[in-house]
Copies of this chain bind each other. A is one copy, B any other.
Amino acid sequence: MKIDAKEEFTYLEQVFNETGFSKDSSHLLADTLTDADLRGISSHGIQRLKWYLSLVHEGTIHPENKVKILKESPTSLLVDANKNMGQIACNLAMNKLIQKAKKSVISIAVIRNSNHFGTAGYWARKAVKKGLIGIAMTNTRPLVVPINAFQAFLGSNAFAFTFPAKPHPYVFDGATSVVAGGKIQVHDKMKQKLPGEWVVDKHRQVVTDPKQAEKSLYNAALTPNQKGGGLLTLGGSSEQNSNYKGFGNSIIVELLTGILAQGSISADTNVGKHDFSQCLLAIDPSFFGDLDGLTKRASKMFDRLRNLPHIPGKEIKVPGDREYRFYADNEKHGVSIDDVTAKQIEKIGQDLGVKVPKKLD
């Protein structure tokens, strides 16, 4: 079914407010989830609401806690999210990084004691809206099986990068694993086999049954019950397609998040603290050349890419094309939510006395 994005936003804002988040934080959290749904990234949209509320109820997230700046320099920030949602610390950090990059060309923030921060792209897009290059990354629960290994250890470790361009910025936003866990849930709901080298079992055999794959990810990521198997890194199951490169990229995110923050690495977020860490960067391209000129150069390269001779009926989509197309369409016609999520938000609305968005179709 579809719901209106404005109604979604109002509903979410009220739900978060009723759950103990401040007015500002509720506004921000509602915006990050609605924005993901508008961009067609429904894995990071309102379907996360039930999980977010459960994090509060189980005491992992403390909605009243204030973010603490532990250390600050003209280029750098070390931030303690103080067991509140990642969005709250990252919003403060990226606002500061933007100011710092405008003065000092480049800036970096590392955030500890954090949790889910929405899409990585949300934070990188915040920078690009101000004419800056934005970078955002996070570690996650242990979901990803290293090369040659039998069990999950790395996070799916999202990474986003933005660069100014027309008609919309370049927005790369994705997990360093071959796919995000959400894509497997979608295949399960559609009763489709997994088509690629996405998941392996405890013997490193590729899994095509989405239910089996989901069970293995659930055990690895959300229980202390690691039985082997999990997602693969980009490059798939064997060395012959250079899966060690995807493995290496995933480790880079671990180093710049959990290690640099001195928080948990992904492998240890399953038992114990349940904390994630984030790293954000902003770079001012106008140090290197006129912003309009650089934007034109990038836009021209993207147009040349889109128009290369290619497979008939397919497109060469530049990262960002898909989400900006979804955004324009979903803003007009509403965002899609699945039946399970629809039931969850109805129940949550009833429990908290918040008006549930009406069905559009």
User: What residues of chain A have their CB less than 8 Å away from a CB belonging to chain B?
Assistant: 71, 73-76, 78, 104-108, 110, 133, 146-151, 153, 161, 163, 170, 172, 174, 178-179, 195-197, 204, 228, 234-236, 238, 240-242, 244-249, 251-252, 254-256, 259-262, 265, 267, 281, 283, 285, 287-289, 293-294, 297-298, 301, 304-305, 308-311, 314-319
| Least distance between A74 CB and chain B CB atoms (Å) | 7
CB pair A151–B309 under 8 Å, yes or no, is yes
| Least distance between A229 CB and chain B CB atoms (Å) | 11
Q: Decide if the interface of chain A is mainly helix, strand, loop or mixed.
A: mixed
Can you show 14 pairs from A to B with CB atoms below 8 A apart?
A76-B287, A133-B255, A148-B310, A148-B316, A172-B248, A174-B242, A174-B245, A195-B240, A196-B238, A204-B311, A244-B317, A255-B298, A260-B285, A260-B294
- In the complex, the chain B residue whose C-beta lies closest to that of A320 is B248
| From A153, A179, A289, A315, residue with most partner B Cβ within 10 Å | A289
Residues A149 and B260 in contact in the complex (CB < 8 Å), given A235-B234, A246-B234, A255-B170:
no
> Which B residues are in CB contact (< 8 Å) with A245?
174, 178, 234
CB pair B240–A262 under 8 Å, yes or no, is no
- Complex CA gap A246/B248 in Å reads 13
> Which B residues are in CB contact (< 8 Å) with A316?
146-149
- Complex CA gap A241/B198 in Å reads 7
- Complex CA gap A305/B259 in Å reads 14
| Least distance between A276 CB and chain B CB atoms (Å) | 15
> Which B residues are in CB contact (< 8 Å) with A75?
75, 104-106
CB pair A262–B234 under 8 Å, yes or no, is no
- Complex CA gap A105/B76 in Å reads 7
- Complex CA gap A236/B242 in Å reads 10
- Complex CA gap A236/B235 in Å reads 8
> Which B residues are in CB contact (< 8 Å) with A289?
260, 262
| Least distance between A179 CB and chain B CB atoms (Å) | 6
